[in-house]
Structure 1
Amino acid sequence: MPSGVHIHNVRGRLFAAAECVLLRDGPDALTSRAVTEEANCSKGVLHRHFTDFDAFLTELILDRVRGIEDRATVLRAAAGTGSVVDNLTEALQDLFGPVTVAIVALITFRDGLRARLRQAGLAGIPLVGQASSAIAAYLATERELGRLADDTDVDTLAPALVGAAHLLFADRASAPPQTAAVRRTVTSVVVGALPLRA
């Protein structure tokens, strides 16, 4: 695309292009050239909006973190409805879509990006950490409603669920796990926290 042509929603277009490259070719193929070629724009467009490529990737991840925060609100609103296992199964399948799995791999792959994310206030592995917080908030609400045992340690249970789910979804070369497999994992992790039924 010639320079000087106005592009609508540049950030969104570049973020979508980065996700396409990540999903198709993996984190080692993600470069500013690959992103701008996928977005059909010049490299200068990316550098006019972001100081460097790690700044671009940081903003991409921050944008996805905001998406998880939105999903957390929906999940917490589901407390008290349906079954705890079904709500968690659906949430984990939503949280660990292909883009999230690819971004987690990217964060692991790039040292400079992890440093930038720490500077932006995101410790640990972003997206995974936010998913754990979302699940913990949901579990705490379910505990308050009496749908989990009073002594449920939600701050331990949430990362256990997220870690187990991440292992199920982490193989980028295979199809995502089926709902039954995710549900079985969730049930195994939370069974001790569910009140005994008469």
Structure 2
Amino acid sequence: MPTGVAIRDVREQLFDAAERILVRSGPSALTSRAVTAEAGCAKGVLHRHFADFDAFLAELVQDRIARFDARAETLRAAAGTGTVAGNLTDALTALFESVAVAIVSLVIFRDDLRARLRQTGSKGVPLLAEAAGAIAGYLTAERELGRLKADADITTLAPTLIGAAHMLFAGGEAVAPDAVGKVVTAVIAGAVTPG
């Protein structure tokens, strides 16, 4: 791209370029030069908008967590509608069919990024921890509506669902919603109220 030409939504362009690289080649291929080349801009553009590459990556992860937060609200609003298993299957499929698996790989791959994210208050594995919180919020709402048993152990169910779904998608192959639904149904079987 020629010097002096304004780039619209440069942050989002850089984030999208980073995601494409992550999905295509994994976290080891993610460099500032690779991101700017993928975005079609000069390397200096990234450094004009971010203090350093780790700051860029931290903001990428936080941006994707914020996007998931919007989905979490939709999931919580679904409480009392459809089936518990169906709602969870849809939410987990949407989460892991996105770039979430690649983002998790990135966080695990880069120690400095993980440390930086922990300074911002992220706990556990960023994105997965937030997803577990969203699932727990949804399960709590369903328990309050009586669709889950009063003694349903939500603090165990939520991370179990996240971990099991992550394992399904971690191989990089397409995963059928039926496979996700089967896992969800097995995990929540003891918690769903009969009826």
- TM > 0.5: yes
Match of 1:196? 194
Map of 1:6-155 to 2, 5 A cutoff?
6-155=6-155
Quote the RMSD (CA, aligned, Å): 0.8
Deviation per residue, 1:22-71 (Å, 9 max, x gap): 11111110000000000000110000000110100000000001011100
SS at 1:79's partner residue?
coil
Distance (whole Å) between structure 2 residues aligned to residue 2 and residue 124 of structure 1: 42
Deviation per residue, 1:90-148 (Å, 9 max, x gap): 00001112411001001110111101111111121111001000000000000000000
TM-score by length of 1: 0.96
Distance (whole Å) between structure 1 residues aligned to residue 171 and residue 101 of structure 2: 9
| Post-superposition offset of 1:89 | 0.3
SS at 1:96's partner residue?
helix
**What amino acid does structure 1 have at the position aligned with 2:185?**
T
Question: Does the Cα contact within 8 Å between 1:14 and 1:36 map onto a contact in 2?
Answer: yes
In structure 1, runs of 5+ residues without a counterpart are none
SS at 2:189's partner residue?
helix
| Post-superposition offset of 1:4 | 2.2
TM-score by length of 2: 0.98
| Post-superposition offset of 1:153 | 1.5
In structure 2, runs of 5+ residues without a counterpart are none
SS at 1:135's partner residue?
helix
Question: Does the Cα contact within 8 Å between 1:23 and 1:98 map onto a contact in 2?
Answer: no
**What amino acid does structure 2 have at the position aligned with 1:29?**
A
Given the alignment of the two structures, is residue 178 of structure 1 paired with residue 188 of structure 2, yes or no? no
Distance (whole Å) between structure 1 residues aligned to residue 133 and residue 123 of structure 2: 13
